[in-house]
Homo-oligomer: A and B are copies of this chain.
Amino acid sequence: MQVGKYHILIDCGDGTQYQLLRHKVSIQKIDYILISHLHGDHYLGLMGLLFTMSLNQRSKYLHIFAPFGLKDIIEAQLNVANSTLNFEFEVHEINTFESQVLVEKDALMIRNFPLDHRIPCMGFRVDEVYSKRKLKKEKLPMNLSPDQLKALTKGEDIQDTSGQLIKNESLTYPLEKSKSYAYCSDTCYSEAILDAIQGVDLLYHEATFLQEHAERAAQTKHSTAHDAAKIATLAKANKLIIGHFSSRYKELGSFLIEAQEYFENCELAEEGKVYLLD
């Protein structure tokens, strides 16, 4: 994800670095890596990515958020390689059973929330929240005080030296629209996540199975396409992307048909596709 100047990688399965390379995503720009849980398909590519970042002379600080256990694994893998990473990073081990704010930087806010899977697992909600208006610099009178400028960015009207009211909109651009994304993989159907993902512009929700295999979904704590669509409806999401399809299905059209029956604005996750939130 790109949010303003910040770059976020969510989950990092085996070989992720090569997929990023193939799709021309700069690994050195990544600021935050969020790992939902420690099943292999969600984190096994992390160590290779970190080694490559180091080999390629990364200097930027890196924050990794993950469930407990990842630090030890990274340390063991550095030990056997008799290596250190030549850039600064921190692994923040997170209690996946509680929601908290992980990142709050400029307009970016990242929060985690608990998912219900076979091992500790969390979803992420990423918000781009604009609370300050940008000033029309070329139209500003010369003699405004810092307090007046602050009032303008907050959307308030001000008075000029003669006591004349100046409408806010004449000196500021309209507030940029806030955008929100939530990522839910892996999880069984769970309405407990609704508060956390309420009203997002874009919801990614796993759909490992079709409804005809609902029993298998329940056993393995995964969701069906129908489950994902139901969650999107209840959360009043604007758009839904489903993915994480079991390899038992050779064609994926049925996932879309099943989901769209309950939630029309749905797409299948597609490798390398770029989704814009406008």
Residues of A within 8 A of B (CB): 13-15, 17-18, 38-41, 44-45, 47-48, 51, 67, 69-70, 72-73, 76-77, 79-83, 118-119
Determine whether the beta carbon of A82 is less than 8 Å from that of B44: no
Report chain B residues within 8 Å CB of A69: 76, 79-80
Residue pairs across A and B with Cβ atoms less than 8 A apart, 26 shown, are A13-B48, A14-B15, A14-B17, A14-B45, A14-B48, A15-B18, A15-B45, A15-B48, A38-B81, A39-B81, A39-B83, A40-B47, A40-B51, A40-B81, A44-B45, A44-B47, A44-B48, A44-B51, A67-B80, A69-B76, A69-B79, A70-B80, A72-B76, A73-B76, A80-B119, A81-B119
A39 to chain B, nearest CB (A): 5
Q: How far is the CA of A39 from the CA of B17 in the complex (A)?
A: 16
Determine whether the beta carbon of B82 is less than 8 Å from that of A119: yes
Which of chain B's residues has its CB closest to A75's CB?
B76
A41 to chain B, nearest CB (A): 7
On whether A48 and B41 interact (CB within 8 A), knowing A15-B14, A73-B77, A77-B73, the answer reads yes
Report chain B residues within 8 Å CB of A18: 14-15, 18
Which of chain B's residues has its CB closest to A44's CB?
B48
Report chain B residues within 8 Å CB of A15: 14-15, 17-18, 45, 48
Report chain B residues within 8 Å CB of A79: 69
Q: Which 7 A-B pairs have the closest CB atoms?
A: A15-B15, A14-B48, A38-B80, A69-B80, A40-B51, A44-B48, A82-B119
Task: Given contact pairs A15-B45, A44-B48, enumerate 12 new A-B contacts (beta carbons under 8 Å).
Answer: A13-B48, A14-B14, A14-B17, A14-B18, A38-B80, A44-B51, A69-B76, A69-B79, A72-B76, A73-B73, A81-B119, A82-B119
Q: How far is the CA of A83 from the CA of B40 in the complex (A)?
A: 10
Report chain B residues within 8 Å CB of A76: 69, 72-73, 76
Report chain B residues within 8 Å CB of A70: 80
Report chain B residues within 8 Å CB of A51: 40-41, 44
Report chain B residues within 8 Å CB of A45: 14-15, 44, 48
A173 to chain B, nearest CB (A): 44
Q: How far is the CA of A184 from the CA of B44 in the complex (A)?
A: 26
Report chain B residues within 8 Å CB of A14: 14-15, 17-18, 45, 47-48
Q: How far is the CA of A14 from the CA of B47 in the complex (A)?
A: 9
Among the interface residues A13, A14, A77, A82, which one has the most CB atoms of the partner chain B within 10 A? A14
Report chain B residues within 8 Å CB of A119: 80-82
Q: How far is the CA of A47 from the CA of B47 in the complex (A)?
A: 12
Which of chain B's residues has its CB closest to A45's CB?
B14
Report chain B residues within 8 Å CB of A118: 82
